[in-house]
């Protein structure tokens, strides 16, 4: 069996993965470092067969991939793979970290929803100003909630919302049934949105979901509806969202936005009824041990000539 060279973005991650794998399970692989910020000395570009992308700011490393003539597989540390979605067309496989971010992202979707509905952001500002401002806020209980995206993370979000006695509707690209019940298709959104009080976005970013939440989508929502985005920023038309938020008609709790990072002078910072977190849904204390475990399993599989986990389908 030929030796495969697997390039990690930094030596710290490489060493943590090595510590998880017995020597006999990595005898047929060479674990090196190759990224825009760090490269193993004496590493030839011809040697690299597999690249593990950095978790954050992977763009500069992605730009280097064209330099690697024998690259056959790219492994992400994220669930989404839109920055490398073009690679399978070039014969380069892509494997994701599906499952690693599920719990953390689902936690934040719930936290953002509760914080916005219960006015926690207003309470923090009032505390800083030493103002006692008692008011009646909306409860998550009895809210009509829609989750757009019915994959692994969408299902985890649904699990976390169910104990709050919500009226839950789920939407995906195509309508279907599963163990939880009906999943509506996106074609049904026009009739569903007017009756929805909370929309949670966790759909992948694709050509069909790019700016899915546009002016018409937002206009169909009732007054005071809440948009929670833990998917990708480009799923939402930012200009259309800013317009609705500026009027005070809708609310938003956003972990992702377009553009990112959000520029200091961007109008979204100043819109009313808006809660922003800096794209940290899956970046929790649970991330590192889980991603190391998945990467160690990927190394073992590559060592043994098996198919990697979480390969992106080209169908």
pLDDT tens string 38-52: 776 678 888 899 999
Kindly state the average pLDDT of the residues 291-313: 95
Q: How far apart are CA 54 and CA 34, in angstroms?
A: 10
pLDDT 10s digits, 231-259: 999 999 999 999 999 999 999 999 999 99
Whether residue 256 contacts residue 204, with contact meaning beta carbons closer than 8 Å, is answered with: no
> In DSSP terms, which residues pair with 171 in a beta bridge?
148, 184
Kindly state the average pLDDT of the residues 111-128: 96
What are the tokens at 211? Answer: 């700016």
Q: Which residues contact 234 (CB under 8 A, 6 or more apart)?
A: 205, 210, 211, 258
Q: What angle do CA 266, 268, 274 make, to 5 degrees?
A: 155
pLDDT of residue 296: 97
pLDDT of residue 41: 64
Name the least confident of 28-42, 98-112, 162-176, 291-305: 28-42
Kindly state the average pLDDT of the residues 47-76: 94
20 CB burial (10 A radius; 0-12, 13-18, 19+): middle
Q: Which superfamily is assigned to 5-100+285-304 in CATH?
A: NAD(P)-binding Rossmann-like Domain (3.40.50.720)
pLDDT 10s digits, 124-145: 999 999 999 999 999 999 999 9
Q: Which superfamily is assigned to 101-276 in CATH?
A: NAD(P)-binding Rossmann-like Domain (3.40.50.720)
Q: Is the pLDDT at 53 greater than 80, yes or no?
A: yes
The whole-model pTM stands at 0.91
Q: Is the pLDDT at 315 greater than 80, yes or no?
A: no
pLDDT of residue 37: 79
* Shared fold status for 5-100+285-304 and 101-276: yes
Kindly state the average pLDDT of the residues 14-20: 97
The confidence band for 269, taking pLDDT boundaries of 50, 70 and 90, is very high
Where are the domains positioned within the chain? 5-100+285-304, 101-276
Average pLDDT over the chain, rounded to an integer:
95
Kindly state the average pLDDT of the residues 3-10: 92
pLDDT 10s digits, 186-227: 999 999 999 999 999 999 999 999 999 999 999 999 999 999
* Percent of the chain with pLDDT strictly greater than 90: 92
């Amino acid at each position: 069996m030929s030796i495969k060279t697997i390039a990690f973005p930094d030596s710290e991650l490489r060493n943590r993965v090595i510590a998880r794998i017995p020597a006999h399970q990595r005898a047929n692989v060479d674990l090196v470092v190759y990224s825009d910020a760090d490269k193993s000395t004496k590493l030839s570009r011809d040697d690299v067969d597999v690249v593990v992308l950095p978790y954050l700011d992977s763009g500069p490393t992605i730009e280097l991939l064209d330099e690697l003539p024998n690259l056959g597989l790219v492994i992400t540390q994220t669930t989404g793979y839109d920055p490398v979605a073009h690679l399978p067309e070039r014969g380069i496989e892509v494997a994701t970290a599906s499952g690693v971010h599920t719990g953390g992202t689902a936690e934040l979707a719930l936290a953002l929803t509760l914080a916005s509905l219960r006015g926690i952001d207003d309470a923090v500002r009032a505390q800083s100003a030493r103002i006692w401002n008692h008011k009646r806020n909306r409860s998550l209980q009895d809210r009509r909630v829609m989750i757009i995206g019915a994959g692994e993370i969408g299902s985890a979000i649904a699990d976390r919302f169910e104990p709050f006695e919500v009226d839950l509707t789920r939407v995906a690209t195509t309508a279907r049934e599963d163990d939880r019940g009906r999943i509506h298709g996106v074609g049904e959104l026009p009739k569903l949105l007017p009756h929805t009080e909370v929309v949670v976005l966790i759909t992948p970013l694709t050509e069909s979901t790019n700016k899915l939440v546009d002016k018409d989508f937002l206009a169909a929502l009732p007054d005071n509806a809440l948009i929670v985005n833990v998917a990708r920023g480009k799923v939402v038309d930012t200009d259309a969202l800013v317009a609705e938020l500026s009027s005070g008609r809708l609310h938003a709790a956003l972990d992702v936005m377009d553009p990112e990072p959000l520029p200091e002078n961007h109008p979204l910072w100043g819109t009313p009824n808006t809660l922003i977190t800096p794209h940290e849904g899956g970046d929790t204390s649970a991330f590192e041990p889980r991603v190391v475990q998945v990467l160690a399993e990927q190394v073992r599989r590559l060592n043994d000539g098996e198919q990697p986990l979480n390969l992106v389908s080209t169908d």
